[in-house]
Amino acid sequence: MTGDDVKAMMLAVAQAIIDNVDVLSEADRATGDGDHGVGMRRGFEAAQDAIMALQSPTPEQVMKAAGTAIMAKGGGASGAIFGTLFRAGSKVLEGKDRLDAAGFAQFLAVASEAVQKRGGVITGQKTMVDALAPAAVASADGSSLAESMSRAAQAAEAGVEATRHMLATTGKARSLGERSLGHIDPGALSVSIILRTMRDRA
Amino acid sequence: MKTPKKILNEPRQATAEMMEGLILANDGRVGRVEGTGALFRTAIPDGKVALLIGGGSGHEPIFGGFVGHNLADGAACGEVFAAPGPDTICEAARAVHRGKGIIFLYCNYAGDNMNFDIAAELLGDEGIETRTIRVRDDVAAAPPERMDDRRGIAGAVLVVKVAGGAATELKDIAEIERIIRKAEANVRSMGVAVSAGSLPETGKPTFELGDDEIEVGMGAHGEAGVKRQKMVSADDITNQMMEPILGDMALAKGDEVVLLINNLGASTMMELLIVNRRVRQILTRDGIAVHRTFIGPWFTSQEMAGFSISLMKLDAELKRYIDLPSSSFGFSSL
């Protein structure tokens, strides 16, 4: 995938998040304060503007621009987390003019690690990490970029379902305790939407 | 689901337009870094340790309304119920910095913690020293052995009051930090919600609560509390809130506290005064003296109905800063 392909893919990713604003906010209303969708929309609208302004970018530049815009304009926990995801992940793409299977797997691995460090969370706490971490692991087995992305999307989707049976132990949902059971984590759903859209563009 | 009536223009512009109105309401005493949620006092003396508060919008008058004399030097304000991003925090920090470092004082939420931490790292690279204090006063959120899991709610008003005074009178950042940490360690709160607030952008309530239900211990964004139950009398609700607060504080007969009853938005002053009556009966029973009482809407949650009770245990030092006159758009005391 060339830098321009990555640019087109990330514009589609941003659009997918924007299109799902109500789905994401509704998911958040069950366990949080119902603003995950609007926060993500703010961040990804800014990401669209930033990516659009890039001329013949490298894959790294696209991911970094997206992360920086999301962090600056998204706000809230989601801005910090999804901004960190793309910013930290972009570093492994430095000096590469193409995004390939190995690069994508590395991108997810480093992003997952950075997000866990920033949020002070590990898997099993009913967060977006429960979609991102398994996606990073699954993507490492792909023999082509398309296969890596497909595996990542599939693992993330399974991760979203898995959060349904987890107790929230961090974030605003934490105090719900057992009342958080039966609901998916909205951040995990966002990860799944992002990876699903990447897969469809691969 | 009924869509609540709100007086808005374009809902997505609500935060920006609110901030414009807030700046104008300050008649020149507070400015704003254009296009951002970074607010600052226009008369910060050189050499002052700066006090920067912040958090999501939608809780007005906090946080932006607490920028003022003997209160905060600046505020980093995010969108409704969403922490400000690192850029906003850095802009506010640069606007209030007078060469002696900045104290970040905010409520303990994952979003605020991450964004302020990122900002602290970026400012550190620029050579600006920051100290961080997180308010964790909500006893309903977690047991005392998990203090770091406790949310910050209206007790933050009292901590900002003390912090603003200390950061004005004292020069040494470590000494100011010590006093603010003591204030934070001495404050406990609990809230109750009787009906939900709604987000301007989605028009939807942040949680569902039956017409005859209340939730004791609910957080400022509708986070779950201790228990959901049928509506009971003001005295019963107050009893249920005072017991865990007092149980967490180790107050002895003869101790002095400052009492703050915060309106979450849509309750009436009449209801809050009825609550105050019961709070004082309980404190009198336990031999605890109230040095000062603050009752009003400071840390709101849109049109959520309900209130919280906060108590801060006082010593001579904290009393001095609680008593220091202060003024701002949202909070003034003589």
Q: What is the DSSP string of B50-106?
A: EEEEEEEESSTTTTGGGBEETSBSEEEEEEETSPPPHHHHHHHHHHH--SS-EEEEE
- Which amino acid, one-letter code, is at A141? D
Here the CATH number for the domain that contains residue B138 is: 3.40.50.10440
Average pLDDT for A134-160: 97
The residue type found at A119 is G
Residue A182: predicted pLDDT = 92
CA distances from B265 to B9, B160, B199, B305 (A): 20, 20, 13, 6
Do B163 and B47 belong together in one domain? Answer: yes
Interface touch A75/B223, C-beta < 8 Å: no
Contacts of B80 in chain A (CB under 8 A): 35
Residue of chain B minimizing CA distance to A22? B202
Section B87-92 average pLDDT = 97
Beta bridge partners, B46, equal none
Structural domain total, chain B: 2
Residue B29: closest CA among B44, B48, B17, B46 = B44
- Mean model confidence pLDDT for chain B: 96
- Other beta carbons less than 10 A from residue B124's beta carbon: 11
Residue B269 — φ and ψ, nearest 5°? Answer: -60, -35
Contacts of B119 in chain A (CB under 8 A): none
CA distances from residue A46 to A35, A128, A143, B18, B318 in whole angstroms, order as listed: 17, 21, 33, 21, 44
Contact assignment for A80 to B87 by CB distance below 8 Å: no
A76 contact B CB<8A: yes
| Tens-place pLDDT, residues B259-293 | 999 999 999 999 999 999 999 999 999 999 999 99
Q: Assess if residue B328 is contained within a domain.
A: no
First and final CA of chain A: distance in angstroms? 8
For residue A100, the distance in angstroms to the closest alpha carbon of chain B comes to 30
User: Any chain B CB within 8 A of the CB of A186?
Assistant: no
**B78·A74 Cβ contact <8 A:** no
Name B229's bridge partners: B214
Per the model's pLDDT, the better-predicted residue between B317 and B204 turns out to be B317
Q: Which band of pLDDT confidence, cut at 50, 70 and 90, is reported for residue A171?
A: confident
Enter the ipTM.
0.88
Phi, psi of B333 (to 5 degrees): -150, 145
- Span A114-120, average pLDDT: 95
Are B39 and B142 within one domain? yes
Same domain for B306 and B270, yes or no, is: yes
Contacts of B201 in chain A (CB under 8 A): 35, 38
B151 and B167, same structural domain?
yes
Q: Which residues of chain B make contact with A127, given a CB cutoff of 8 A?
A: none
* Residue B214: domain span: 188-323
B202 → closest Cβ in A34, A74, A179:
A34
Active site residue B69: no
Asked if residue B3 belongs to a domain, the reply is: no
> Which SS3 state, helix, strand or coil, does residue A120 take?
coil
- Residue A180 is predicted with a pLDDT of 86
Whether residue B275 sits in one domain with residue B193: yes
Q: Under an 8 A CB cutoff, do B202 and A37 touch?
A: yes
Q: What is the reported pLDDT for B208?
A: 86
Length, in residues, of chain A: 202
In a domain? residue B42: yes
pLDDT at B2: 65
Q: How many Å lie between the alpha carbon of A202 and the closest alpha carbon of chain B? A: 32
> Hey, what are B83's tokens?
């922490």
pLDDT band at A6 (very low <50, low <70, confident <90, very high): very high
CA distance A101 to chain B (A): 30
Cα gap B275→B258, rounded to integer Å:
15
In a domain, B205, yes or no: yes
**Sign of the Cα pseudo-torsion (B90, B92, B93, B97, in order):** positive
Nearest chain A residue (CA) to B151: A172
- What phi and psi, each to the nearest 5 degrees, are found at residue B281? -60, -45
Residues B97 and B234 in one domain: no
Tell me, yes or no, whether B155 and B56 share the same domain: yes
* Vertex B210: Cα angle to B277 and A166 (nearest 5): 105
Structural domain includes residue B72: yes
Q: Does A176 touch chain B (CB under 8 A)?
A: yes
Q: Please check whether residue A167 touches B, CB under 8 A.
A: no
The percent of residues above 70 in pLDDT, for chain A, comes to 100
Residue B139 in this model has a pLDDT that exceeds 90: yes
Q: Which residues of B touch A33 (CB under 8 A)?
A: 81, 199, 206-207, 221-223
Q: What is the pLDDT of residue A41?
A: 96
Distance, CA of B81 to CA of A20 (rounded, Å) = 20
Residue with tokens 């950075």: A114
Asked if pLDDT for residue A62 goes beyond 60, the answer is: yes
R_g of chain B, CA atoms, integer Å: 19
Question: Which whole-number Å values give the CA distances from B324 to A20, B104, B147, in the listed order?
Answer: 50, 21, 29
User: Letter for the amino acid at A188?
Assistant: A
pLDDT band for A110, please (50, 70, 90 cuts): very high
Residues of B in contact with A38 (CB under 8 A): 79, 199, 201-202
At A115, is the secondary structure helix, strand, or coil?
A: helix
* CB hemisphere CA count around B124 (13 angstroms): 9
Domains and CATH numbers, chain A: 3-201 (1.25.40.340)
Residues B55 and B132 in one domain: yes
Higher pLDDT, A74 or B188: B188
Residues 6+ apart with CB under 8 A from B83: A75, A76, A77, A79, A80, B54, B55, B56, B109, B111, B112, B114, B115, B116
Nearest to A72 among B87, B204, B219 (CB): B87
Residue where a domain stops, chosen among B186, B208, B224: B186
Q: How many other CB atoms sit within 10 Å of the CB of residue B281?
A: 13
Could you tell me which of B258, B297, B254, B265 has the C-alpha nearest to residue B279?
B258
Is the predicted pLDDT of residue B34 greater than 90, yes or no? Answer: yes
Q: Are residues B204 and B319 in the same domain?
A: yes
Of the candidates B155, B186, B217, which is a domain's last residue? B186
| pLDDT, mean of residues B88-110 | 97
Instruction: Please say if the pLDDT value at position A55 is more than 90.
Output: yes
Cβ atoms B62, B55 nearer than 8 A = yes
Handedness of CA A67, B112, B205, B22 (dihedral sign): negative
Q: Please give, rounded to a whole number of angstroms, the shortest distance from the CA of A105 to a CA of chain B.
A: 25
pLDDT above 60 for B232: yes
Q: Tens of pLDDT along A27-54?
A: 988 888 788 999 999 999 999 999 999 9
Cβ contacts below 8 Å, chain A against chain B, sum to 114
Partner-chain contact A80 B201, CB within 8 Å: no
Give the position of tokens 């605890």: B288
Q: Taking residues B66-90, what's their average pLDDT? A: 97
Residue B221 is a catalytic residue: yes
Q: What is the pLDDT of residue B1?
A: 54
* Mutation for B interface: A25, A26, A35, most B CBs within 10 A: A35
The DSSP call for residue A49 is H
- Average pLDDT for A98-120: 97
Burial zone of A195 (CB within 10 Å; 0-12 exposed, 13-18 middle, 19+ buried)? buried
B196 and B149 in a common domain: no
Q: Does the CB of A98 have a partner CB in chain B at under 8 Å? A: no
**Is A179 a residue whose pLDDT tops 90?**
no
Which of B186, B219, B234 is the last residue before a domain boundary?
Answer: B186
